[in-house]
Amino acid sequence: MTAKREQYVAFMDPEERIARNPILVPRQKDALRHVMKTGEIRSREYAAMHGVSESTARRDLQELILGGWLRREGAGSASSYLPGDLLYPGGGEQRVPSADGSGEGCWSCG
């Protein structure tokens, strides 16, 4: 990451970075908030949430990958889109769901 981008990521809350980003469309912002809450999103889920085709969903998610917001794990229909460096710098500060399934987890567990 460049020094300017590192400062941007280090000093601003992820929610605020999402809200202030002028490039992201509202459905991409919603998807990022969903990833922050649940830890992942799939293209089929994204398409259903926003009433778009799966190809549009994949294209939107690919833009988020290129921007550093998400990273993809898996291939084909088994692909999951997980938080990238812009959501959680270094990937180590990812939200981990709680064991009881309540969704309230910690930011840097284990």
21 pLDDT band (50/70/90 cuts)?
confident
Tens-digit pLDDT profile for residues 42-58: 999 999 999 999 999 99
Residue 78 included in any domain: yes
Query: In b/e form, how buried is each residue of 16-53, taking b as 16+ CB within 10 angstroms?
Result: ebbeeeeebeebbbbbbebbbeebbbbbebbbeebebe
**Can you give the residue range of the structural domain that contains 64?**
3-91
Mean pLDDT of 51-67: 93
93 pLDDT band (50/70/90 cuts)?
very low
Give the number of domains in the chain. Answer: 1
Residue 96 included in any domain: no
Q: Which residues contact 73 (CB under 8 A, 6 or more apart)?
A: 79, 80, 81, 82
In degrees rounded to 5, what are phi and psi of residue 16? Answer: -70, -40
Residue 43 included in any domain: yes
